[in-house]
Amino acid sequence: MRGVVFDGTRTEVVDDLEVRDPGPGEVLVAVAAAGLCHSDLSVVDGTIPFPLPVVLGHEGAGVVEAVGAGVTHVVPGDHVSLSTLANCGACAQCDRGRPTMCRKAIGRPGQPFSRGGKPLYQFASNSAFAERTLVKAVQAVRIPADIPLTSAALIGCGVLTGVGAVLNRAKVDLGDTVVVIGTGGIGLNVIQGARIAGALTIVAVDANPAKEVVARQFGATHFLPSADGVRAILPSGADHAFECVGRTELIRQAIDLLDRRGQAVLLGVPAATAEASFLVSSMYLDKSILGCRYGSSRPQRDIALYADLYRQGTLLLDELVTETYPVEDFEKAADDAHHGRVARGVLVF
């Protein structure tokens, strides 16, 4: 079968991947579509260290092909959106409804794939850039069959992270003010999460002026090419500022833009060794800096909720898909994503 493999030197679309059959508590999924997220590119450029060689991809949707013993919530033929959370379901954090805090949440790097008899690692317990992938049962969330799989693919990462950061982590409230720095796939979902939450003012900040139209479509009330103009719109500062790029100077900007009791939420992923600075004295007005892992999501609950919101016309999914690419065009899709030409490019099998 086909898949996208990174060996530490080059990324290659291969056609001789193999994946083992599902064991107890596992689900084999025929992947129909997979979003290309910057996290995949971060493995390639070294920002996210990962064992190699690895089958890339972590944002996908498809059709259940087979299930292992003990799996009852999905059956072959079900449409599913895939989560990256391979949480155990039994630890104290899972029991508290915090699966993103489970120490097994991103799984121990497994090797369900092989090529030429040699094992390959699975990225983020998911590897959606393969025609078939094997996931834990908790990662396969059944969705209505009338949702296009190219759109459903984006729920499992970009939507869970962006919308979840607003609703689950920051808990944006009716009438709040929000600044979103960076309007790529994550930023757009933060914007629509703020809209869904009832934020009164949503200021999108992006250096690319071409992104204004789509940012406003998703719910931005204002658009700025830099954060310099935010205070003209929000003189007292913002209740919530989301950094969605992963640059330390933008993290500082997000913190500096806060009103009293404001929250800066960090969603972008800088290098693992990156350090950011801020004025400690500015924090004594009950301000907060919040990390956020995967939108503080509970995927079995949240994916089903977002699917319903999509069907009601409240949550935008189709509009996130800027372009689809056959998996063989991975390099073009990656180049478009790297240069910000797409909100989300989706690979299709």
Q: Are 317 and 308 in contact (CB under 8 A)?
A: no
254/232 Cα distance (integer angstroms): 15
pLDDT band of residue 108 (cuts 50, 70, 90) is low
SS (H, E, C) 66-100: EECCCCCCCCCCCEEEECCCCCCCCCHHHHCCCHH
Instruction: Look over the chain and give the mean of its residue pLDDT values, rounded to a whole number.
Output: 95
Phi, psi for 58 (deg, rounded to 5): -155, 10
The pLDDT of residue 39 is: 86
Q: Is the pLDDT of residue 340 over 90?
A: no
Buried b (16+ CB within 10 A) or exposed e, 121-134: bbbbbbbbbbbbbb
pLDDT digits (tens, 9 = 90+) for 275-292: 999 999 999 999 999 999
pLDDT digits (tens, 9 = 90+) for 201-238: 999 999 999 999 999 999 999 999 999 999 999 999 99
Q: Is the pLDDT of residue 239 over 70?
A: yes
Residue/partner pairs of 248-251 with CB below 8 Å, 24 or more apart: 248/274, 248/275, 248/276, 248/277, 250/181, 250/182, 251/276, 251/278
Q: Give the total residue count for the chain.
A: 349
Q: Is the pLDDT of residue 312 over 90?
A: yes
The pLDDT of residue 60 is: 97
Query: How far is C-alpha 316 from the geometric centre of its chain's CA atoms?
Result: 15
Percent of the chain with pLDDT over 90: 90
**Region class of 50: left (phi > 0), else alpha (psi between -120 and 50), else beta:** beta
Which tokens hold the place of 19? 């994946």
Q: Are strands 344-348 and 177-181 parallel, antiparallel or unpaired?
A: unpaired
Phi, psi for 179 (deg, rounded to 5): -115, 135
CA distances, 264 to each of 74, 218, 231, 243, 269 (Å): 38, 21, 16, 7, 14
Percent of the chain with pLDDT over 70: 99
pLDDT, mean of residues 296-324: 96
pLDDT digits (tens, 9 = 90+) for 40-71: 988 998 888 899 999 999 999 999 999 999 99
Q: Is the pLDDT of residue 109 over 90?
A: no
Q: Is the pLDDT of residue 80 over 90?
A: yes
CA distances, 145 to each of 66, 298, 316 (Å): 17, 21, 17
Which tokens hold the place of 142? 């059944």
295/84 Cα distance (integer angstroms): 12
The pLDDT of residue 115 is: 96
pTM (2 decimals)? 0.94
DSSP β-bridge partners for residue 346: 35, 324
